[in-house]
Amino acid sequence: FSAPPPVRRSRPPPPVVRSKPPPPVTRSNPAPRPNPAPVAPVAKEAVPQYRGTPPRGLPVSGAKPTESRAATSAPKGPVPVKPKELTVRERKYLAHASRLDQEAGELWWQRRYVDVEYRYREALRYREAVLGRTHPDVAHSLIRLARLYWGSNRNQEAAALHRRALNILEHRLGAESVELANAFWEYGGFLQLRGDYAGAEPLMAKALKVLEKDPDSQRNISRRRTTYATVLSELGRSEEAARILRR
């Protein structure tokens, strides 16, 4: 046999050339930032501007988006209500709110409480739209709705409405207002009927302090003292109750 031909070896592969590692990123040598892609300008949509009142509807009840916290904070003294020149449409809205209140009063006697609530809420919405959320008329509209809720055992909703109404009246009329005192007394009376004597006592005390100095409130002052003394007795403050009755 003849010998096999010699095996030819291929050339070795070229050496692998490693790239140099990137230099370390330091404050003096920051990493390059990629250039952002250009962004096409967005055309702004034209916002329609209304002159006068909007063509349809009323604003929804609630705080205005631009209302600042300073506007809702209680000032040191009463803020008088500035007279506002109403438009024809606004006067119609207020007249309609008064009609809704009258209809609600008639429906109350018929025990149609769902219809009563709807009318009271609509009257409140119209007054808020025309007069703003901190007008005394809005406060009285809140109290009407709160009375309905107290009678329907919706106590939490009623208490929230009553507190908001009291804040408005105190903000606008001041702490010495007889109108505010009567509202304090009414709220305290509702709490008393539900056994919340601790909540009723400070409200009645504030009211009685003002009503005792009002000449027009003297006719019912003895009855109110008796009611307040009853609340004090329920709280275990019999000596204070006796002093109230001796006035």
Which CATH number characterizes residue 229's domain? 1.25.40
Q: What is the mean pLDDT of residues 210-221?
A: 94
For residues 96 and 127, membership in a common domain is answered with yes
Domain annotation covers residue 212: yes
Structural domain range at position 195: 178-247
For residues 129 and 108, membership in a common domain is answered with yes
Structure tokens at 212: 């005792």
Better-predicted residue by pLDDT, 2 or 55: 2
Give the position of tokens 């009414």: 186
Q: What is the pLDDT of residues 115-140, one digit of tens each?
A: 999 999 999 999 999 999 999 999 99
Q: Residue 148 and residue 154: Cα distance in Å, rounded?
A: 9
Structure tokens at 216: 């027009």
Of 173, 205, 220, the position where a domain reaches its end is 173
Q: What is the pLDDT of residues 18-51, one digit of tens each?
A: 555 555 555 555 555 544 444 444 344 333 333 3
Of 128, 149, 173, the position where a domain reaches its end is 173
- In the chain, the amino acid numbered 176 is E
Does this model's pTM top 0.85? My answer is no
For residues 90 and 109, membership in a common domain is answered with yes
CA 51 to chain centre: 29
Give the position of tokens 């803020």: 79
For residues 150 and 120, membership in a common domain is answered with yes
Let me know how many helices (H) and strands (E) the chain has, helices first: 9, 0
For residues 138 and 193, membership in a common domain is answered with no
For residues 97 and 114, membership in a common domain is answered with yes
Domain annotation covers residue 67: no
For residues 166 and 93, membership in a common domain is answered with yes
Sequence-ordered list of residues with C-beta below 8 angstroms from that of 119, at least 6 positions apart, any chain: 100, 101, 103, 104, 107
For residues 168 and 94, membership in a common domain is answered with yes
Domain annotation covers residue 26: no
Domain count, the chain: 2
Q: What is the pLDDT of residues 94-114, one digit of tens each?
A: 999 999 999 999 999 999 999
Domain annotation covers residue 219: yes
Where does 132-220 have alpha helices with state H?
Answer: 136-151, 155-173, 178-193, 197-211
pLDDT over 50 at 59, yes or no: no
Q: What is the pLDDT of residues 168-183, one digit of tens each?
A: 999 999 999 999 999 9
Element (H, E) at 33: none
Q: What is the mean pLDDT of residues 85-89?
A: 91
